[in-house]
Amino acid sequence: SPAGGSGATGGDAPADALAGALADVPAAPRPAVAGRQVSPALTPRAWMGVGALWLVLAVFWTNQMVLYTASARPNDDYSWVELARLQVATSAIWLALSPVVFALARRFRMDADNWLQLLPLHAAFGLAAGLLHTGVMQLSGLSRLPVLSPANMNPITGDFFVYLGLLAWSHAREFASWYRMRELEGARLSARIAESRFQALRAQLRPQFLLATLELLAELVHRDVPRAERLIARLADTLRLTLESGRDATATIGQELDLLQACVETHRIGIRGGVRLVTDVPPSALSLPIPSRLLCTMADDLLAADTLNPAEPLTVRVEVERAADVTRIRLRGEAEWGGRATGSHAWWRAKSVAEAAVADAGALVSVAFPDRATAVLLIADGDSAFHVDDDALPASAVA
């Protein structure tokens, strides 16, 4: 058929994931050359448009010839019907030549690398189209002039530029299709990058936490063997659950809480002795699905807060409730410092890892910060997508 042409927390895991995603995404195709077709084939409706264009040109050329003859040779006897038949025949010949021109444009597609070699070839094709047009007109009896007559210079020149116009339209159509494909590939690449960033967040531990824990273990094996054994056991649980959760895109709230408990216990036995986890989760909510490792990533942002003194007691409080088709998870950090208990600490930071994790998890997850120490996750079911403003949160989420 004829056609015109056509935010991770550290380490190398994010870079590896991004590199893998980029390697899997196919590059946008270059414009077609040497017969390779990129743009879609012309539809019957498009061919009807091409035929209508040639009909309009026949009417235009007829009017042009009538006006020219009437003004240049007013005393000559002429018939506008004969002039119209001549121009309609010209349009019909070019309508028949159009598929041939489009095929030549597709077969000898010009681009930045070969246009100097192919331009003379297309110039020859344009000249041949003009000679073919005048030859058909002579054979059909519509023209009495020899094909190579000097009087045919003007029609042949016009045919040459008609060929170039069709050639340019074919190239423009292909390049438009090429750029649409590039936009589509760009959108796919953006989605893959966001997915890889979230996969990296799910599959990794904070390097600072892991290195500090290993350094502490190196000291404890010489002075506190029982504590070192407990720390090794909890660190192994944390690593095992992290690897298990990294294999799937979603996990249940129960699985996420198990991972969070192991992570908090590892901190408590290791580098942050005053931390504890308090949960308020109804049994019916334990089987609800949420993005894998999202909750642990956000809690890890609290445990990594630079402004918190590791010696201060810290409570990580998690509350879960269900409203319609939305799972609401309230995450709060409660610290004691300066002689005051149950105070709130501004541990949610602008542009934090937690916010990046929520952004990369997809449109079904939204986060709001009712106060400086609290984050509220809203996770929708099915195809529901939303964005949340702090002022729009219900009182139960903020209280």
Q: Please, which pLDDT band fits residue 375 given cuts at 50, 70 and 90?
A: confident
> Among candidates 136, 131, 130, which has minimal Cα distance to 159?
130
Give me 229's structure tokens.
């054994």
CATH 3.40.640.10 fits 205-398, yes or no: no
Lowest mean pLDDT of 165-169, 176-180, 237-241, 289-293, name the range.
Answer: 176-180
Q: How far is it, in rounded angstroms, from Cα 227 to Cα 205?
A: 22
Lowest mean pLDDT of 118-122, 175-179, 240-244, name the range.
Answer: 175-179
What pLDDT digit, counting tens, does each position of 35-93 carry?
444 455 677 777 788 888 888 888 887 777 777 777 777 777 667 777 788 888 888 88
Cα torsion 31, 36, 38, 40 to 10°: value is 150
Task: State the pTM of this model.
Answer: 0.45
Q: How far is CA 366 from CA 101, 114, 260, 332, in A?
A: 55, 51, 20, 16
Output b/e per residue, 218-239; b: 16+ Cβ within 10 A. eebeeeeeeebebbbebbebbe
> What single string gives the DSSP state of each residue in 186-214?
HHHHHHHHHHHHHHHHHH---HHHHHHHH
Indicate where the chain has its CATH 3.30.565.10 domain(s): 205-398
Q: Please, which pLDDT band fits residue 282 given cuts at 50, 70 and 90?
A: very high
What pLDDT digit, counting tens, does each position of 306-352 carry?
445 556 788 889 999 988 788 899 988 887 654 333 444 444 444 45
What is the model's pLDDT at position 195? 64
Confirm if 97 and 130 have CB atoms less than 8 A apart.
Answer: no
> Among candidates 235, 358, 389, which has minimal Cα distance to 293?
358
Give me 59's structure tokens.
């009417």
Does 17 score more than 70 pLDDT? no
Q: Is the CA virtual torsion 38, 42, 43, 45 positive or negative?
A: positive
Give the count of beta carbons closer than 10 Å to the beta carbon of residue 203.
19
Collapsing DSSP to helix, strand or coil, 185 comes out as helix
What is the model's pLDDT at position 336? 64
What pLDDT digit, counting tens, does each position of 132-164 carry?
888 888 888 777 778 888 878 888 888 899 898
> Among candidates 134, 132, 135, 107, which has minimal Cα distance to 121?
107
Show the DSSP H helices in 204-344 as ranges.
Answer: 207-223, 225-245, 253-269, 294-303
